[in-house]
Amino acid sequence: MTQVSISVKAVTRKYGTHPALDAISFDVKKGELFGFIGPDGAGKTTLFRILTTLLLPDEGEATVEGLDVVKDYKKIRRIIGYMPGKFSLYMDLTVEENLKFYATIFGTTIEENYHLIKAIYSQIEPFRKRKAGQLSGGMKQKLALSCALIHKPVLLFLDEPTTGVDAVSRMEFWDMLKRLKEGGITILVSTPYMDEASLCDRVALIQDGKILQLSTPQQVVDHFPYELYNVSSGDIYNLLADLRNYPGMMSCYAFGQAAHISFIKETFRETHLRDFLKEKEHNQLTIEPINPNIEDCFMELMNR
Amino acid sequence: MMPIIFVVPIVQLIILVHAATFEMKDIRMSVIDLDMSQSSRQMISKFQGSPFFRIAHTSFSYREAGNEMKKGNVDVILQIPLGFEKNLAKEKKSKVQIVINAINGTSAGLVSAYSLMILQDFNRALIVEWMSPATMAATRNIKVIPLYWYNPKLNYKTFMVPGILVLLVTIIGLLLSGMNIVREKEIGTIEQINVTPIRKIQFIAGKLIPFWIIALFELTFGLVVGKLLFNIPMIGNLWLIFLSAGIYIFVILGFGLLISTMTNTQQQSMLVAFFFMVIFILMSGLFTSIESMPNWAQQLDRLNPIAYFIRIMRMVMLKGSSFQDIQESLYSLVVYAFGIISIAIWRYRKVT
């Protein structure tokens, strides 16, 4: 039997009349690496703040490790680690002082739980006398993760941990998450980057406070209902405009230097599109079928 | 931060103590002597002889003197009418006119008080001069000698230093604590703290104690500067000063933290802190006496922590009051400290 770590039932939170979360429901299993994927303003941070007991839900209820987020908030705070989207450690304390401070608040010491953070902390340990405010983005993030782990949490909340971090550091960070997961920690992570979604066990696509889809990354891709083609030409701007006027098109959007265009299955004839585009004076045309990725699925879901 | 903590008290004490004085010297006077008699000249020389007045202008026309005042060249006009001496001799009374520039009410009051003092003095001299020797013996005994206790020379510096020390501690305490939690809100560090199991009371205590130590240190520093530079008397028990200060600083820090928990930006917090600070300072009795305020304002002053502390400081430092003398103010401050810190703890929300 898989045990449930987080259970959210019809949680709503409004800012004024605008619902940041609109009757959202989902479960997270123990030991899962669960991703929230969505654009800015989708409600990811609001959800995280409710689950970390910083914000009260207007309606609905949520439990974390069987503890109610409203009634048992004190117990929840002992067992979770939270890394807010904005770097929020003390900039004028050194790396070591920050870590020691958070260890002390939780009634533990660095030595006691050093094995938990060793892999991460050892990378910034040479700079332990440096002020946190003078660290680079990637180092700050490692320090924040160390501080969130120092009290041996069973559950880790990471709100957009890779925003503003370079590509190499991002990959390193996800490797660290995988290792933590192997250690048995349940991890909830939110990100605006679609490519990171495939690294999660399960993902929830979220927009305007609603979950559009919740499944494994593979299932998300498998559920893509259309055929997808990558089209590029010398003039991407007009290409997009022209493609959007092409009959039978289901969706079309820019993807890097090309356009992704989708059609209902088995309705697409390549020669017809080629002729259509040539008529509009496009040259250097390439048209190729591709497998959809998470981003394609998300764009499609958003347009529904 | 450190330079501010050291420089502010010295600058405040030196500048404010010298600038915020009520003594007026060199009051410029315009004299219109229409009588040109011995008595009138005697009176003018009385003014001339006092350290407060300087005859800046003489004329025979009131219009001319008025113009000088309009231009801002004279502060007060003394007009001695024709027949001054004659009336004085004949009817035993006479009139002079004093016109004071009252743009600044406080200084006008002082000029008037000084002038009256000199006129009375002149009066007494006349009585002595004109009385027959028989009646003289009887009147000579009546002489008013003002005696100022606890501040015999009416030294304004002595009077101001305790008050300015209070201001110093207040400004440092209120601004430091007022900016503090709100700054954590702005930077976002509060978010990380709030998810920890730290208790509200622990958090507030962690904020209070360092500032308490800084503020007490400031006071000590200020007292040393006051003693060395101004030689202010410290008649009372030094420990009593520190006991009261310790309690008072808790009130001020609690007030600052309360503001800090209720605002969202440092700007808001700064404005609110200044709003209260200005009202508290102006109503504290430092610049104007509380007894001369209307009754409702005096009642309102019961909520003014600065007023309590200035009273205590002056009583202990200048008068040497004992614990019994100041206990009422002290207990009020204790109640205030408990009240305001409790509200601050209650108002500090880890959850929104």
For A189-233, the DSSP string reads EEES-GGGGGGSSEEEEEETTEEEEEE-HHHHHHT--EEEEEEE-
Fold category of A224-303 in CATH: Alpha-Beta Plaits (3.30.70)
ipTM over 0.95: no
Are both B186 and B41 inside the same structural domain? Answer: no
Residue that terminates a domain, selected from B108, B140, B172: B140
Are both B277 and B215 inside the same structural domain? Answer: yes
- By Cβ distance, the residue of A80, A84, A105 closest to B198 is A105
- What are the boundaries of each domain within chain A? 4-221, 224-303
B 311-350 near A (Cβ less than 8 A) = 350
In a domain, B136, yes or no: yes
In a domain, B352, yes or no: no
Are both B108 and B39 inside the same structural domain? Answer: yes
Q: How far apart are CA B206 and CA B339, in angstroms?
A: 18
Q: pLDDT tens across B81-124, in order?
A: 888 888 877 877 778 888 888 887 777 877 888 888 888 878 77
In a domain, B215, yes or no: yes
pLDDT category of residue B21 using cuts at 50, 70 and 90: low
Are both B285 and B233 inside the same structural domain? Answer: yes
In a domain, B124, yes or no: yes
Chain Cα centroid distance, residue A100? 29
Q: Most A CBs within 10 Å: which of B192, B348, B349, as the mutation test of the A interface? A: B192
In a domain, B151, yes or no: no
Residue B138, pLDDT score = 44
**Residue B87 is part of a domain; what is its CATH number?**
3.40.1710.10
Number of domains present in the structure of chain B:
2
Residue A253, pLDDT score = 83
Are both B198 and B102 inside the same structural domain? Answer: no
Mean pLDDT lowest among A88-92, B25-29, B167-171: B25-29
| Residue range(s) defining the domain that contains residue B328 | 156-347
Residues of chain B with Cβ-Cβ distance to A62 below 8 Å are none
Instruction: Label the pairing between strands A4-15 and A59-64.
Output: antiparallel
Q: How far apart are CA A86 and CA A96, in angstroms?
A: 20
Q: Is the minimum CB–CB distance between B197 and chain A shorter than 8 Å?
A: yes
φ, ψ dihedrals at B279, nearest 5°: -65, -45
Longest dimension (CA), chain A: 73
CB atoms A54 and B194 under 8 Å = yes
Q: How far apart are CA A44 and CA A40, in angstroms?
A: 8
Q: Is A294 exposed, middle or buried (0-12, 13-18, 19+ CB in 10 A)?
A: buried
Minimum CA–CA partner of A88 in chain B: B189
Q: What does the block give as tokens for B260?
A: 């800090």
- By Cβ distance, the residue of B188, B195, B352 closest to A80 is B195
Residue B332, pLDDT score = 92
Are both B219 and B313 inside the same structural domain? Answer: yes
Q: pLDDT tens across A218-232, in order?
A: 888 888 888 888 888
Mean pLDDT lowest among A90-104, A151-165, B117-131: B117-131
Are both B246 and B337 inside the same structural domain? Answer: yes
Q: How far apart are CA A188 and CA A51, in angstroms?
A: 10
Q: What does the block give as tokens for A149?
A: 């782990």
Residue that terminates a domain, selected from B140, B173, B197: B140
Residue that terminates a domain, selected from B115, B140, B165: B140
In a domain, B340, yes or no: yes
| Mean pLDDT across chain B | 83
CATH class of A4-221: alpha beta
Minimum CA–CA partner of B198 in chain A: A105
Q: How far apart are CA A109 and CA B128, in angstroms?
A: 90
